[in-house]
Amino acid sequence: MQQLQNESTIACDMNPCVDAICHIFKHHPFLGAGVVDYDGNILWGNARGKQMYFNDSTLDYAGKTIADYFPPIMAEERLRLIREVCDMGRPAYLRHIRLGKSIVTTYNKLPETEGEPKTVLVMAGEASDDEQLKITEDYIRFETELVNLGPLDKLSGRELEVLALISHGLTTVEIAEQLKRSPKTVEAHRSAISRKLGVKNRIQLSEIAQKAMLELRHAKLKRVAI
């Protein structure tokens, strides 16, 4: 894959197989894909990735950097990851919550072209659990310190913990034991969560938490607004 001609077109070799791969990436229905260089410049991105990250499949990335679309603290973290992939030559794997949904992203260094900056191919999709993904040891697992909770940002840290445990099928008594709170307090948290999120029962709460793949640790991450 050579230097990109413009925001919407990848300049591929004349090899028909490469052309076909480029076409698949560009029009993929559920896989977000993009190319970013060592300095965070966005060289290309497909429509699915724009929709997934920004709810706008028509965004024009021309002349833009990740700092133009992410809060400073998040842009710095992502740039550190991109440079680590470029410098080490190993792919990386990141699971994060964006807009209240769990997203899994891989970063792969692309072949270097003389006179051009190092680049990575970024691919993202809504996540399933790690056991199904079967990530190999070749991938660096990057742990983010940030979380974008979207509609779940209404919840307190304790409420997030309760919701995470609800999604794992724990009963009120089991949640109380794990959080060292009384069942009555846990029920009060559950009622508050339901009210804030506008849902009526435990099943709906569990579905919301599972979309984010909430874990207890997420309640302690730094929240960022996007």
* Second-level CATH architecture of 16-144: 2-Layer Sandwich (3.30)
Determine the pLDDT at residue 201: 83
Q: What are phi and psi of 172, to 5 degrees?
A: -60, -45
- How far apart are the C-alpha atoms of 116 and 71, rounded to whole Å? 27
Domain extent listing, the chain: 16-144, 150-223
| 79-89: pLDDT as tens digits | 999 999 999 99
Contact of 31 with 123, CB cutoff 8 Å: yes
Q: What is residue 110's predicted lDDT score, i.e. its pLDDT? A: 94
- CATH architecture, domain defined by 150-223: Orthogonal Bundle (1.10)
Among residues of the chain, what percentage have pLDDT more than 70?
91
- SS3 category, 168: coil
More confident residue, 6 or 210: 210
The one-letter amino acid code at 211 reads K
pLDDT at 15: 60
- Cross-strand pairs, 158: none
Query: In angstroms, what is the C-alpha Rg of the chain?
Result: 20
Q: How far is CA 171 from CA 82, 163, 194, in A?
A: 41, 11, 16
Specify the pLDDT at position 226. Answer: 81
58-96 pLDDT, tens digit per residue, is 999 999 999 999 999 999 999 999 999 999 999 999 999
| Predicted pLDDT at 8 | 42
pLDDT in tens, 204-220: 888 888 888 899 999 99
Q: What is the pLDDT of residue 203?
A: 85
Residue 125 β-bridge partners: 104
> pLDDT of 7-65, one tens digit each?
444 444 446 777 788 889 999 999 999 999 999 999 999 999 999 888 899 999 999 99
Tokens 């099943």 belong to which residue? 203
